[in-house]
């Protein structure tokens, strides 16, 4: 008698009706070409357990899909079984405790919308379409990091389905090592089917965009440097080198003030006087409105090739390199997005989270992007990455690093690398889960 994949699924507790064959999984980056053999549409933790067991029984590579926003498409392994948790979107807010218990597939803007109705705000990235756990497991930079730490620093507990199909409760009391690993070590330990995240009570943020013309790029970036270095925790300034609203290259600054609302205009004023801006549109807004609006600027369906470097500051040479990078883009969609890492995020001790770089820095996200079918700008991103090498700090942001960034991956977890690999060997000895790259043992 022939045993079908349906039989295997059923025997492992997975309803075959929830297992699609060769279904297309939507990826943010249209350049991702690998395709799933099976997609298990999971709605419950039991579904996820059954899907993990089914993948093992079928001998298939396994991956976890939440939103498909990883630029390398790591939510899908070629010819493998994808555990699709995008329907696991419950959100329960505990107003008193200022926490939310969320399903593994919750989007950042959905969480922010729900918590806003309770007067509370989660720590997310800048763009609402990114999913909370995919972001948090790798780190989670965003405009609230200066005040409340990275998204991973606000991850309090998790329900984790591990490679043997069992469920573990992960929190500071039960599995402190695993909690530490999940805070920055990526989706390398199992499927986070649910999590508890910390929420914050803040005023509406004061934010928006200040656009400087390209002719002032060098002087604006030079003057921005001391402002970034001395910014209070409540002020984070993101820098974009990209085409402005008129289609011409620009330095666009996005200050976000998360302190007392009435102080917003005064706290962000210095960002508007670094040169003569073409436009300056700042004002109060809710966190949800801000990240939901940003999502519209980064729609899925374009081709992307990302690289990343961390720099400690904008030295004259770094500024020159950034300006050269802006001028040499060959696609109007390509950009540099520079995240400001300071304040509370720098004060989290290495004992709390696997995320490895706590010194103040600026994360340069080198975003080669082009329309599907158009000429590639991948070589530009690679050139900029190489040009910044001499001025970069070791390591880099795991959510953006690729498997071939050996040196950066080796250094990304600093002194925590050994502990992270020991936990990986204990929890997932056969390497069933592969997400963001981990350092090679012994390197």
| Interface ranges with ligand FAD (CB under 6 A) | 28, 63-70, 74-75, 85, 104, 125-127, 130-131, 133-135, 137-142, 187, 191-192, 298, 399, 435
DSSP string of 240-296, one letter each residue:
EEEE-TTSSEEEEEEEEE-S-GGGHHHHHGGGG-SS--SEEEEEEE-HHHHHHHHHH
Contact indicator for 127, 339 with CB cutoff of 8 Å: no
Residue 186 Cβ vs ligand FAD, minimum distance, rounded to whole Å: 7
d(CA 39, CA 43): 13
Q: Which is nearer to ligand FAD, 323 or 378 (CB)?
A: 378
Phi/psi at 386 (5° precision): -70, -40
Residue 215 Cβ vs ligand FAD, minimum distance, rounded to whole Å: 28
Residue 145 Cβ vs ligand FAD, minimum distance, rounded to whole Å: 9
**CB-based closest residue to ligand FAD:** 134
Q: Which is nearer to ligand FAD, 278 or 333 (CB)?
A: 333
Q: Which is nearer to ligand FAD, 65 or 212 (CB)?
A: 65
Residue 123 Cβ vs ligand FAD, minimum distance, rounded to whole Å: 11
Q: Which is nearer to ligand FAD, 187 or 326 (CB)?
A: 187
d(CA 166, CA 362): 39
Q: Which is nearer to ligand FAD, 19 or 323 (CB)?
A: 19
Q: What angle do CA 119, 121, 123 make, to 5 degrees?
A: 175
End-to-end CA distance of the chain: give it in Å, rounded. 49
Q: Which is nearer to ligand FAD, 252 or 277 (CB)?
A: 252
Q: CB neighbours (10 Å) of residue 245?
A: 11
d(CA 254, CA 243): 14
Q: Which is nearer to ligand FAD, 277 or 342 (CB)?
A: 342
DSSP string of 384-412, one letter each residue:
HHHHTGGGPPS---TTT--TT-HHHHHHH
Residue 249 Cβ vs ligand FAD, minimum distance, rounded to whole Å: 20
Residue 353 Cβ vs ligand FAD, minimum distance, rounded to whole Å: 14
**How many helices (H) and strands (E) are present in the chain, helices listed first?**
13, 17
Q: Which is nearer to ligand FAD, 292 or 323 (CB)?
A: 292
Residue 252 Cβ vs ligand FAD, minimum distance, rounded to whole Å: 15
Residue 3 Cβ vs ligand FAD, minimum distance, rounded to whole Å: 28
Length of the chain: 443
Residue 284 pairs in a beta bridge with 206
Of 157, 77, 148, residue with least CA distance to 431: 77
Strand order in the sheet with 335-341: 279-285, 205-213, 249-257, 235-243, 335-341, 361-370, 303-311
């Amino acid at each position: 008698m022939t045993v079908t994949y349906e039989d295997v699924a059923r025997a492992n507790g997975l309803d075959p009706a929830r297992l699609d064959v060769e279904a297309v999984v939507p990826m943010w980056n249209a350049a991702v070409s690998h395709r799933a053999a099976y997609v298990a549409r999971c709605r419950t933790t039991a579904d996820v357990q059954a899907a993990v067991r089914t993948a093992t029984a079928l001998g298939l590579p396994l991956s976890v899909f939440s939103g498909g926003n990883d630029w390398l498409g790591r939510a899908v392994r070629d010819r493998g079984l994808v555990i699709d948790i995008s329907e696991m979107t419950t959100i329960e807010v505990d107003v008193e405790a200022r926490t939310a218990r969320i399903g593994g597939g919750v989007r950042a803007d959905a969480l922010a919308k729900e918590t806003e109705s309770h007067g509370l705000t989660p720590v997310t990235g800048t763009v609402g379409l990114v999913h909370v756990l995919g972001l948090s497991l790798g780190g989670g930079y965003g405009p609230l990091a200066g005040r409340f730490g990275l998204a991973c620093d606000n991850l309090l507990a998790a329900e984790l389905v591990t490679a043997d199909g069992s469920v573990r409760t992960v929190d500071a009391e039960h599995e402190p090592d695993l909690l530490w690993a999940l805070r920055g070590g990526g989706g390398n330990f199992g499927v986070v089917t649910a999590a508890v995240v910390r929420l914050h009570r803040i005023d509406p943020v004061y934010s928006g965009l200040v656009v400087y013309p390209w002719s002032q790029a060098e002087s604006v970036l030079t003057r921005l440097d001391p402002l970034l270095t001395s910014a209070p925790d409540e002020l984070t300034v993101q820098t974009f080198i990209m085409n402005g609203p008129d289609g011409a290259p620009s330095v666009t600054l996005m200050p976000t003030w998360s302190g007392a609302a009435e102080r917003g205009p005064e706290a962000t004023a210095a960002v508007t006087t670094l040169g003569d801006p073409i436009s300056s549109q700042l004002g109060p807004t809710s966190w949800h409105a801000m990240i939901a609006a940003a999502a519209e600027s980064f729609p899925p369906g374009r081709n992307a090739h990302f690289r990343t470097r961390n720099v400690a500051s904008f030295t004259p040479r770094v500024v020159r390199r950034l300006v050269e990078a802006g001028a040499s883009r060959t696609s109007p969609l390509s950009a540099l997005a520079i995240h400001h890492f300071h304040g509370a995020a720098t004060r989290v001790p290495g004992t709390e989270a696997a995320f490895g770089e706590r010194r103040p820095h600026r994360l340069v996200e080198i975003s080669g992007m082009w329309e599907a079918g158009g000429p590639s700008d991948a070589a530009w991103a690679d050139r900029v990455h190489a040009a910044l090498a001499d001025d970069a700090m070791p390591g880099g942001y795991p959510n953006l690093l690729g498997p071939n960034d050996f040196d950066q991956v080796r250094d990304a977890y600093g002194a925590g690398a050994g502990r992270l690999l020991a936990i990986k060997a204990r929890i997932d000895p056969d390497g069933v889960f592969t997400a963001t790259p981990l350092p090679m043992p012994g390197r």
